[in-house]
């Protein structure tokens, strides 16, 4: 049996949308599960929509997510070139074959003629305003005009296209792994343009020819391509490739968070979440759209989140490492119905993955960030302790960095509500007594906390009564990570300095 080969075939028309990234991921996972190859083919035959930089962006985004292709414009394989604009001659050959077999034809209609055709069909009450087996006989093409006439028009520079000759009455059937059998009547399929006057093929022709030549076994793509599939199936038949036709799997749509319609950049902007995996700069407006990466999402968390958009493993768990996804993925478990894009769930995944990271790894990251972004020098051991204390409390790494600053700089802001509620003469004496009793040789958090408790017990004060006040005096906030950890990281001298610094401020608030 030939080995599984799948492809992700983006058009470089802009930044890769998150839905496209999901399509790429499903292709990658299917390839890995089947021990096959994952190919990226750049479909750049539409010169009008070409955006420079998009190709690199797409490949960078896949690398970042951890789903680098086995063959692409960057990693050459046996089936290159992997950029369609470099395969022009190949398509010409197949168009010739279709013309010779009378399965395609030249059309020289002007834009006005095409518009008049649509108007006529509309007047006649037709729903499909298609160039098809019926309407083509009233148009200017090689089926209605003589060979000489067509040649004359083309040589005089008139624009022409080559169209697929779709049969009038035929059932087109194909199997879709997600949807089961799909049957479409050819009367609803239009005579798609295969080659344009610029000599470049359209998506339909290039896509089918390349899937065949690149030995693609499964076409996994978004549901928006389902209506094109019948034309593709016909092309396979016309080119004599029906027996080797790839299997199709059209993935369910990603819907807006409210479930109303397809997820779009506009919807994402409105709801305040990224649509692109990495920062994307619009070449016309210069506007930068923040990516998932820059927003602080971890690639493994995003991959896990995306994998579950449409795929239901039917297992009693949600956290899957990329390796587990690769081992468990199956197209049979991909559902048909559209799936809502819930950014809260993406945040939850990020939190889970952040939580799982080991403290030393996070500590290393923190040491670097503190130094480069805040000019703060921190020992790895301390940074690891801080990471341990903070990682369960934040969703993103940059929040951890932000929250760690308080361990190095005295708070600039104090929670006045807590001060008003908890601060008193007794509280002040309690804090002062605590720092008086605190020996600078005590370094363990629990031991410092014990000193606090013993001091207050000796004063006949319940230690719990001023615990929150102690916290506010040290960090400014009424809540936060474990107090023992805070005490340990700050150490006795800094605790004393901060309490001495806070008390006069507390007095002011209380006045």
Q: Which residues are catalytic?
A: 265
Q: How far is the CB of 73 from ligand GLU (least distance, A)?
A: 14
Tokens 């994307």 identify what position? Answer: 280
Give whichever of 190 and 290 is closer to ligand GLU, judged by the CB atom.
Answer: 190
- Coil, helix or strand for 253? coil
Give whichever of 234 and 438 is closer to ligand GLU, judged by the CB atom.
Answer: 234
Give whichever of 163 and 221 is closer to ligand GLU, judged by the CB atom.
Answer: 221
Q: How far is the CB of 225 from ligand GLU (least distance, A)?
A: 5
Q: Tell me which of 50, 64, 79, 225 binds ligand GLU, using CB under 6 A.
A: 225
Q: In Å, what is the CA distance from 85 to each residue of 45, 71, 73, 99, 201?
A: 6, 17, 12, 22, 9
Q: How far is the CB of 202 from ligand GLU (least distance, A)?
A: 11
Give me the phi and psi of 471, to 5 degrees please: -60, -45
Is residue 221 a contact point for ligand GLU (CB under 6 A)?
Answer: yes
Give whichever of 9 and 193 is closer to ligand GLU, judged by the CB atom.
Answer: 9
Is residue 17 a contact point for ligand GLU (CB under 6 A)?
Answer: no
Is residue 30 a contact point for ligand GLU (CB under 6 A)?
Answer: no
Sign of CA dihedral 235, 237, 242, 244: negative
Q: In Å, what is the CA distance from 454 to each residue of 148, 330, 438, 447, 458?
A: 106, 60, 11, 10, 6
The answer to whether residues 133 and 187 touch, using CB atoms and an 8 Å cutoff, is yes
Stretch that binds ligand GLU, among 9-17, 175-183, 298-306, 315-323 (CB under 6 A): 9-17
Q: How far is the CB of 45 from ligand GLU (least distance, A)?
A: 9
Residues in 282-301 at the binding interface with ligand GLU, rule: CB under 6 A: none
Give whichever of 9 and 390 is closer to ligand GLU, judged by the CB atom.
Answer: 9
Rounded Cα distance, 294 and 170, in Å:
51
Is residue 275 a contact point for ligand GLU (CB under 6 A)?
Answer: no
Number of neighbouring beta carbons within 10 Å of residue 274: 23
Is residue 9 a contact point for ligand GLU (CB under 6 A)?
Answer: yes
Q: State the binding string over 144-183 for ligand GLU (x if CB under 6 A, else -).
A: ----------------------------------------
Is residue 10 a contact point for ligand GLU (CB under 6 A)?
Answer: yes
Beta pairing class for 288-289 and 280-281: antiparallel
Give whichever of 225 and 396 is closer to ligand GLU, judged by the CB atom.
Answer: 225
Query: In the 8-state DSSP scheme, what is residue 200?
Result: P
Calculate ∠ Cα 126-130-135, nearest 5°: 85
Stretch that binds ligand GLU, among 8-16, 129-137, 193-201, 489-497 (CB under 6 A): 8-16
Calculate ∠ Cα 25-67-227, nearest 5°: 30
Rounded Cα distance, 412 and 502, in Å:
10
- Spatial CA neighbour of 349 closest among 315, 324, 319, 322: 319
Contacts of 232 (CB under 8 A, 6+ apart): 204, 207, 208
Please give the distance of CA 211 from its chain centroid, rounded to a whole number.
Answer: 24
- DSSP per residue over 24-87, as a string? HHHHHHHHHHTT-EEEE-B----GGG--TTHHHHHHHHHHHHT---SBSSSS--TT---BGGG-
Give whichever of 58 and 98 is closer to ligand GLU, judged by the CB atom.
Answer: 58
Q: How far is the CB of 167 from ligand GLU (least distance, A)?
A: 23
Is residue 246 a contact point for ligand GLU (CB under 6 A)?
Answer: no
Give whichever of 81 and 159 is closer to ligand GLU, judged by the CB atom.
Answer: 81
The CA-to-CA distance between both ends of the chain, in Å, stands at: 84
Q: How far is the CB of 343 from ligand GLU (least distance, A)?
A: 23
Give whichever of 9 and 195 is closer to ligand GLU, judged by the CB atom.
Answer: 9
Q: Tell me which of 11, 404, 455, 468 binds ligand GLU, using CB under 6 A.
A: 11
Is residue 43 a contact point for ligand GLU (CB under 6 A)?
Answer: yes
Q: How far is the CB of 173 from ligand GLU (least distance, A)?
A: 19
Q: How far is the CB of 43 from ligand GLU (least distance, A)?
A: 4
Q: How far is the CB of 21 from ligand GLU (least distance, A)?
A: 12
Q: Tell me which of 72, 132, 202, 207 binds ligand GLU, using CB under 6 A.
A: 207
Q: Tell me which of 38, 160, 203, 353 binds ligand GLU, using CB under 6 A.
A: 203
Is residue 19 a contact point for ligand GLU (CB under 6 A)?
Answer: no
- Spatial CA neighbour of 7 closest among 208, 227, 162, 184: 208
Stretch that binds ligand GLU, among 5-13, 69-77, 414-422, 480-488 (CB under 6 A): 5-13
Query: In the 8-state DSSP scheme, what is residue 198?
Result: T
**Where do contacts with ligand GLU occur on this chain (CB under 6 A)?**
9-11, 43, 203, 207, 221, 225
């Amino acid at each position: 049996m030939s080995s599984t080969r799948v492809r992700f075939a983006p058009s470089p028309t802009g930044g890769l949308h998150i839905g496209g990234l999901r399509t790429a991921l499903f292709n990658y996972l299917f390839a890995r599960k089947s021990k096959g190859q994952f190919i990226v083919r750049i479909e750049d035959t539409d010169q009008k929509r070409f955006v420079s930089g998009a190709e690199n962006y797409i490949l960078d985004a896949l690398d970042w997510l951890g789903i680098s292709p086995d063959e692409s414009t960057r990693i050459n394989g046996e089936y290159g070139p992997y950029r369609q604009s470099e395969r022009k001659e190949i398509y010409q050959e197949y168009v010739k074959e279709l013309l010779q077999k009378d399965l395609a034809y030249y059309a020289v209609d002007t834009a006005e003629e095409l518009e008049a055709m649509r108007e006529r069909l509309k007047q006649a009450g037709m729903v499909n305003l298609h160039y098809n087996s019926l309407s083509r006989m009233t148009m200017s093409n090689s089926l209605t005009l003589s060979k000489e006439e067509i040649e004359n028009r083309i040589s005089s520079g008139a624009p022409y296209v080559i169209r697929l000759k779709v049969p009038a009455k035929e059932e087109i059937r194909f199997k879709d792994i997600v949807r089961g059998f799909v049957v479409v009547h050819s009367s609803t399929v239009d005579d798609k343009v295969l080659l344009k006057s610029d000599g470049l093929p359209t998506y339909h022709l290039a896509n089918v020819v390349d899937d065949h030549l690149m030995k693609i076994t499964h076409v996994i793509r978004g549901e928006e391509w389902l209506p094109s599939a019948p034309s593709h199936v016909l092309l396979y038949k016309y080119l004599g490739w029906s027996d080797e036709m790839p299997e199709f799997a059209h993935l369910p749509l990603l819907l807006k968070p409210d479930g109303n319609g397809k997820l779009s950049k506009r919807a994402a902007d409105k709801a305040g979440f990224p649509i692109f995996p990495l920062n994307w700069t619009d070449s016309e407006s210069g506007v930068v759209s923040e990516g998932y990466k820059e927003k602080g999402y971890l690639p493994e968390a995003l991959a896990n989140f995306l994998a579950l958009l449409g795929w239901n493993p039917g297992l009693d768990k949600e956290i899957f490492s990329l390796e587990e996804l690769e081992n468990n993925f199956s197209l049979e478990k991909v559902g048909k119905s559209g799936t809502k894009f819930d950014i809260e769930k993406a945040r939850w995944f990020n939190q889970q993955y952040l939580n799982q990271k080991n403290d030393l790894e996070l500590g290393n990251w923190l040491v670097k960030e503190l130094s480069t972004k805040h000019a703060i020098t921190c020992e790895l051991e301390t940074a690891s302790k801080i990471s341990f204390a903070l990682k369960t409390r934040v969703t993103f790494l940059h929040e951890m960095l932000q929250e760690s600053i308080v361990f190095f700089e005295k708070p600039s802001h104090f929670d006045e509500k807590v001060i008003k509620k908890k601060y008193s003469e007794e509280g002040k004496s309690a804090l002062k007594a605590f720092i008086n009793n605190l020996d600078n040789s005590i370094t363990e958090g629990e031991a410092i906390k014990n000193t606090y408790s013993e001091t207050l017990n000796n004063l006949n004060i319940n230690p719990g009564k001023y615990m929150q006040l102690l916290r506010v005096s040290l960090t400014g906030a009424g809540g936060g990570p474990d107090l023992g950890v805070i005490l340990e990281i700050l150490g006795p001298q800094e605790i004393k300095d901060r309490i001495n610094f806070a008390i006069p401020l507390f007095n002011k608030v209380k006045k």
